[in-house]
Structure 1
Amino acid sequence: MKKIVECVPNFSEGRNTETIDAIADAIGNTAGCTLLDVDPGRSTNRTVYTFVGEPDAVVEGALAGARVAREKIDMRTHKGEHHRMGALDVCPFIPVANVTMDECVALSKAFGQRAADELGIPVYLYEASAAQDYRRKLPQIREGQYEAVKDRIVKPEWKPDFGPAQFIPEWGATVTGARFFLIAYNVNLLSTPNQAHRIALNLREAGRGPDKPGRLKEVKGMGWYVDDYNLAQVTVNLNNYRVTPPHILYEEVKKEAALLNVAVTGSEIVGVVPLEAILAAAEYYIEKENLFVLDEDQKVRLAVERLGLNAVAPFNPKEKIIEYIIAEEPDEPLAGLTTRQFIEEVASRSSAPGGGSVSAAIAAMGAGLGSMVAKLTLGVRKFEDVDAKMRKLIPPLHQAAHALIPMIDADTHAFNDYVAALGLPKETDADRACRDEQLQLGLKNAIDTPLSVMATADAAWDALVAVATYGNIASKSDVEVGARALEMGIWGAYKNVVINMAGITDDIYKKQTLEKADALKNRAADMCGQVLEILDSRS
């Protein structure tokens, strides 16, 4: 799965449009980077850029922006309301999807080293990247702002992590590091700003001071009044949405508001949000209200509705959820075909797509039929007594059917890798050794893919047996076809495992893989028999 990192560099320029646009262009034109937002502030004289991309790409994007800043920003003339210490003041790297915090720490260090070497600037590490606790937080490093850098940077305890321990007047110093994703989140109230602030004080981690901490961890916030909306807000930064997610903050605000006889009228997310946070909200309300919601788009809709995210401005998931903003069309040329086109492609004068892709498609349809019957049973009055069972049976069948769809193309891709290895040169001993190694890798890939088809389809069997037992008997033939299709798909995938195994030279891999494949094939035959026997007994 694609790795996604967010980078949010803050540059000390919020008034000069030419410079702001030049930095935006440098970041946005970096291969692999998607610029999500540019937020300049005249009074702060600061612009916050938000962009995402794969790990290496975001480092290049940050460096591209820093190069422009080195040329165009002069801190000797900079004034603004926001605290700052450098032209590129702070540059955090934030894990969004399939990336660890440790990986982002490594990215920040790579950026810091390269920026220091190339631009000749001092760079400090903060948050998860920091080596010393006394300079872990941004306010600690930035104390005294740009004006204090000259005297602090020469002290041993304030030697930069990268770059020269000397004052660069036109630049100042830069802070970089890795931190968790920060969600800027506001809850709307029909109240006074004072009431909103009272609620914020009760909830934010700092509370009213050291002796009166608030209830929610990793929350910074206050109350204010927004003239444009004609309402008050509890405005917060959720520093770690896995500790305090938006839906928990929202529910706690509702509790506090009820004590003050104040109405809550929805909320807003400022900027973008990870999909994980929205789905967590959906799961919370699904459990709280004993709902049954399966599809991701419906879960997103539920979260948007329950949190009132459309209250003050439209919440368009494709523009607000990071994963949707940068989503690419799946590489599924076969699965994306019509049924007619797929069959015609199989029937063409070509070895791919072949039995492996067809097996994945058949298995997907088998699991899909089981899912269909379970869904047709759910919510029907005459089957209310098995409603709870159907809620548990639908997800594994639904998930297996959807998981098998991309495997239609994966099998063909795996075979193509092997074919490509066949075309490698074999003139010298080194050529032949390299070719043999790639052929073995290609064969293992061509085996592991149908083996994954078998394992994914196998996950549907227990639920399919239960659907045969409790499902709508009017759909008996659909379950029978589903069972046969699921077994056939697994059997077909097994045959692809076996035929590709002939060229494998790794005896241990061969033995272990065949044992696993045999077990899955035999279980499929047994489970299919159980489904058919159960259905015969219900007729």
Structure 2
Amino acid sequence: MNSEAIIECVPNFSEGTDLSKVSRIVQAMQVPSVSLLDWSLDLAHNRSVVTIAGPAEAVVESAIRGAGKAAEIVDLTRQNGVHPRIGAADVIPFIPVSGASLAECALLARQAGVSLWRRYGIPVYFYGASAARPDRVQLEDVRRGQFEGLRDAVRREAARRPDIGGPDLHETAGASAVGARSFLVAYNVHLRQPDITTARAMARDIRASNGGLHGVKALGVIANDRAQVSMNITDHVATPMTKVYARLKELALRYGAELDDSELIGLIPEAAYEKDAEWIAKIPNFDPALKVVERRLKNPLEWPVAGSTVGGSGRL
């Protein structure tokens, strides 16, 4: 790998209601030469997302430390939220930004997975480009049944056991899905009507697995008492965000709903940003200097210190 390569990692932690806990996780991730680009809590989904970037080995170490701290302070037997999860450090994806390939990020994911098990006793499933089995490429297949269902399944079915560690899950921290992928856009659109049935129908029609748009994963949920179509766009090149939003407008018309405001979780790449697009205009207070990866790299956040109460997204 190029010695000047920049790798992004976007770990998702199963804690979104306690700022002090998330702050401690982020503090634990501070490693020399790693930049903190974004961190935020989502109370409705009970989930937090952290974005870091830097040299490969340093980013791997940062992610591992964050997962270890999450295992220490997040107890999945007491945690719940609308977002599917199998672990305290639920998902740890590595993404090439510059000077690195997806295949090289897959190797980093494998290294991180081995370290997670050896250092903290957290079993690991590899997904995406680092998947060790074809039935684990898709994250939703790995997370089937969530923590509770997977905890029981690994005791009955050898096919559900982790790739590294186990066979049982960690008693309170579950397991982590560690992978490599290209940039994705985590994008949620609210409906004016609190109608979960309509949100689910729209999500069903737009997601790729049901014959919708290529590279779109979607769920219909209620978040903060609002109906929401929660999406991951995994191929923004083949399916630009403008196309995603246009399809949502068509579906809203079909089901007699109205689209309200939208939100981005984490950052987006420069290639996905469309300055005057309608989908951007629907995101309150959107600032490309804060939400576009390449721009944020030029002006990263300060790492939080003990007692910190402010996150990088300004939404905490």
Please give the range of the TM-score, normalised by the shorter of the 2 chains.
0.7 to 0.9
Contact map agreement 1:267 1:307 (CA 8 A) in 2? no
Aligned to 2:145: 144
Count matched residues. 295
What amino acid is aligned across from residue 317 of structure 1 in structure 2? P
Which residue of 1 is the match for residue 116 of structure 2? Answer: 115
Q: Which residue of 2 aligns with 1:129?
A: 130
| Partner of residue 74, structure 2 | 73
Sequence identity, in percent? 36
Matches of 1:200 and 1:159 in 2, distance apart? 30
1:220 Cα deviation (Å)? 2.8
Residue of structure 1 in register with 2:37 after alignment: 36
Residues 252 and 95 of structure 1: CA distance in aligned 2, closer, same or farther (over 3 Å): same
- Aligned twin of 2:289: 318
Q: Secondary structure at the match of 2:84?
A: coil
- Alignment partner of 1:305: what SS? coil
Please, which of 151, 155, 158 is the counterpart of residue 156 of structure 1?
A: 158
TM-score (ref. length: structure 2): 0.75
| 3-state SS of paired residue (1:170) | coil
Q: Which has the larger radius of gyration?
A: 1
Give how far 1:141 is off: 2.7
- The 3 A distance-change label for structure 1 pair 263 and 98 is farther
Residue 266 of structure 2 aligns with an amino acid whose one-letter code is: G
Residue 57 (structure 2) aligns with: 56
Q: Aligned partners of 1:160, 1:206: CA distance in 2, in Å? A: 25
Q: 2:276 corresponds to which residue?
A: 305
Alignment partners' CA distance in 1, 2:277 and 2:94 = 31
| Partner Cα separation in structure 1 for residue 250 and residue 77 of structure 2 | 49
Range 244-253 or range 102-111, more displaced: 244-253
Counterparts of residues 65-104 of structure 1 (less than 5 Å): 65-104=66-105
TM-score where L is the length of structure 1: 0.47
Name the residue aligned to 2:305: none
Match of 1:204 among 192, 198, 207: 207
- Structure with larger RCO (C-alpha < 8 A, sep 6+): 2
Task: After TM superposition, give the deviation of residue 261 of structure 1 in Å.
Answer: 11
Contact 1:200 1:221 in 2 (8 A): yes
Instruction: Tell me the CA shift for residue 270 of structure 1.
Output: 4.4
Q: Tell me what 2:269 maps to.
A: 274
Does 1:327 pair with 2:298?
yes
Offset of 1:198 from its aligned partner? 6.8
Deviates more, 1:167-176 or 1:38-47: 38-47
Structure number with higher strand proportion? 2
Change over 3 Å in CA distance of 1:130–1:251 after alignment to 2: same
1:236 aligned onto 2:236: no
Question: Is contact 1:113-1:162 (8 Å) kept?
Answer: yes
Deviation at 1:200, TM superposition (A): 5.8
SS of structure 2 residue aligned to 1:327? coil
Offset of residue 304 of structure 1: 1.3
The code of the aligned residue for 2:182 comes to F
Q: Would the aligned equivalents of 1:149 and 1:173 in 2 still touch at CA under 8 Å?
A: no
1:19 counterpart letter in structure 2: K
Counterparts of 1:151 and 1:327 in 2: how far apart (Å)? 46
Q: What's 1:13 paired with?
A: 15
Alignment partners' CA distance in 2, 1:148 and 1:221: 21
One-letter amino acid of the structure 1 residue matched with residue 9 of structure 2: C
Question: In structure 2, what is the Cα distance between the partners aligned to 1:151 and 1:178?
Answer: 27
- Cα distance in 2 between the residues matched to 1:54 and 1:104: 11
Evaluate the alpha carbon distance shift between residue 173 and residue 202 of structure 1 in structure 2; reply closer, same or farther with a 3 A threshold. Answer: closer
Q: Give secondary structure in 2 for the equivalent of 1:172.
A: coil
**Could you tell me how far apart the structure 1 residues matched to 2:11 and 2:5 are?**
19
Cα distance in 1 for partners of 2:191, 2:80 equals 35
More deviation in 107-116 or 149-158? 149-158
CA deviation map 1:261-291 (0-9, x unaligned): 999899764432101223xxxxxxxxxxxxx
- 1:1-23: per-residue Cα shift (whole Å, max 9, x none)? 95332222222333343321110
TM-superposed CA distance for 1:108, in Å, is 0.7
Specify the code of the residue in structure 2 equivalent to 1:84. R
Pairwise CA RMSD of aligned residues?
Answer: 3.8
TM-fit CA distance, 1:43? 5.2
Contact 2:123 2:176 survives alignment (8 Å): yes
Q: Cα distance, 1:221 vs. partner?
A: 3.7
The 2-side partners of 1:87 and 1:3 are apart by 29
Distance of aligned partners of 1:108 and 1:312 in 2 relative to their CA distance in 1, 3 Å threshold: closer
Aligned counterpart in structure 1 of residue 214 of structure 2, from 212, 217, 224: 217
Q: Offset of 1:40 from its aligned partner?
A: 2.6
